[in-house]
Amino acid sequence: MKLGSFFYNIVYCSKIFHKRDEDMEFDTITAISTPMGEGAIAIVRLSGDEALAIADRVYRGPGGKLLSEVNSHTIHYGNLIDPKTQKVVEEVMVTVMRGPKTFTREDVVEINCHGGLVSVNRVLQLVLANGARLAEPGEFTKRAFLNGRIDLSQAEAVMDLIRAKTDRAMNVALGQMEGRLSKLIRELRQEILETLAHVEVNIDYPEYDDVEEMTHGIFMQRAAHVKSELERLLRTSEQGKILREGLSTVIIGRPNVGKSSLLNSLVHENKAIVTDIPGTTRDVIEEYVNVRGVPLRLLDTAGIRETEDIVERIGVERSRAVLKDADLILLVLNNSDELTVEDEQLFQITEGMDVIVIINKMDLPSKIDIDKVKDLAKNRSIVTTSLLEDQGVDELEEAISSLFFAGSLEAGDMTYVSNSRHIALISQALTAITDAMEAIEAGTPIDLVQIDFTRTWELLGEIIGDSVHESLIDQLFSQFCLGK
């Protein structure tokens, strides 16, 4: 099991996108620096000139203590708050280490928070939203090297590390290019680009009378629309779902195979995740559990409790459609029964999905054809349990977390990886567009408002790995008939 791989993905994913060169060196970078999942505590590390200032923006210590004023190499209890809402995000311990006696020789702040993806990512996003940049592949090591912390013999290794991680991240990124989020982002960017081109035409071709002058009023309307789209994106983006709500998980199986017991033991064994996300009042009842750091959102738990089979209840086609949106399916079989047509049907409708097969009721005499199950399961994990006797639950949890952290859970995993970046970038884009709107309010000249509007466009471009400036000029000449 590669516990570390997920962490790498988070860190390395950022790198291919962006970065306009001027941002590259010695700004403040951040990443989750502990392997994800297992630990009770996770660490988010910040390094760079602004590390303390950024930490102070989100940290509220007892008696209003400022981290920029504490002694080096000390640890401090406190809360992280979101400066925008003033709400407490996490309870944390923060270690302050001033350069040069640190790994990178820069100021380093380590935020220790509760382990588990949800908390640690909340913390990561908070620091990203407050001025830090997600580290590139091998960037902490690169800085350590560039700042003279690592000797010459290691330089080659640093370069190899950057290359290797980059290639891996590139594959992940390419995977993300498809999909709904990127489509949304592209549409929004195109809309912004048209406005930008409009302003540029006004500037570069002031006598061109075919296009109305971009007024503060029109600009405000466009900016407001972009802003509401960004807010919507942040709220409802499919990709954002997992971060906030966990991997959507469905338990399926014929009646009376032990779905309800499985649900109960997952819920029982694991502390339910507290969530304030709207959506829990939907028809489909959901429960949140944290399995070894992997947040699971168990769907349709009402249905399961009624010990009814999903297929039976809503039909094959619809259940397949419902299941398609799930990140993980737990398919439960009964060891003490022979495989039925319904069982085989379940394998059929979950074809190509991420499935863990659970053979339950191992305490009873076996009638099931294990070889046939293996055949049907193809390469997917099979776990045997006796939920009644509390046997095999550990193995099941192990299977879930290894599937997740080893990257086998492609869709969920990768979507998840991209989330921290996406959400941070979308929030930054929101800030930029809000700045633009404030500037419009204040009557700032359009070409200056354009700066924040352009920034919004660039930030969204970083999400989909596209920040080429030339496209503005292309847009200019395709949208307007210009020339002498």
Residues within the interface to another protein (CB under 8 A): 15-16, 18-27, 136-139, 142, 145-146, 148, 151-152, 155-156, 158-160, 162-163, 166, 200, 202-210, 213, 442-448, 451, 468-469, 472-473, 476-477, 481-484
> What backbone phi and psi angles, to 5 degrees, belong to 233?
-60, -45
- C-alpha span between 396 and 382 (Å, rounded): 9
Pairing state between β 29-32 and 41-47:
antiparallel
Q: Which H or E run contains 399? A: helix 393-405
> If we measure between CA atoms, which residue out of 66, 86, 85 comes closest to residue 76?
66
CB nearer another protein, residue 320 or residue 455: 455
Closest approach of Cβ 75 to another protein, in Å? 32
Q: How crowded is the C-beta side of 419, counted as CA atoms within 13 Å? A: 32
CB nearer another protein, residue 108 or residue 476: 476
CB nearer another protein, residue 276 or residue 470: 470
Using CB atoms within 10 Å of the CB of residue 352, give its burial: 0 to 12 exposed, 13 to 18 middle, 19+ buried: exposed
> What backbone phi and psi angles, to 5 degrees, belong to 308?
-105, 150
CB nearer another protein, residue 155 or residue 284: 155
CB nearer another protein, residue 261 or residue 467: 467
- C-alpha span between 244 and 122 (Å, rounded): 9
> What backbone phi and psi angles, to 5 degrees, belong to 208?
-70, 115
Closest approach of Cβ 484 to another protein, in Å? 5
Take residue 74 and report the two structure tokens written for it.
Answer: 């000390």
CB nearer another protein, residue 141 or residue 360: 141
Closest approach of Cβ 438 to another protein, in Å? 11
Take residue 67 and report the two structure tokens written for it.
Answer: 């981290």
Take residue 148 and report the two structure tokens written for it.
Answer: 């003279």
Q: What is the DSSP string of 177-221?
A: HSSHHHHHHHHHHHHHHHHHHHHHHHHH-TT-TTS----HHHHHH
Q: Which residue has the tokens 């293996």?
A: 374
CB nearer another protein, residue 274 or residue 468: 468
Using CB atoms within 10 Å of the CB of residue 87, give its burial: 0 to 12 exposed, 13 to 18 middle, 19+ buried: exposed
Instruction: Please tell me whether the peptide bond between 35 and the residue prior to it is cis, using omega within 30 degrees of 0.
Output: no
CB nearer another protein, residue 69 or residue 209: 209
Q: Is 120 helix (H, G, I), strand (E, B) or coil?
A: helix
Closest approach of Cβ 48 to another protein, in Å? 12
Closest approach of Cβ 273 to another protein, in Å? 36
CB nearer another protein, residue 77 or residue 477: 477
**What is the Cα Rg of the chain in Å?**
26
Closest approach of Cβ 478 to another protein, in Å? 9
Closest approach of Cβ 238 to another protein, in Å? 28
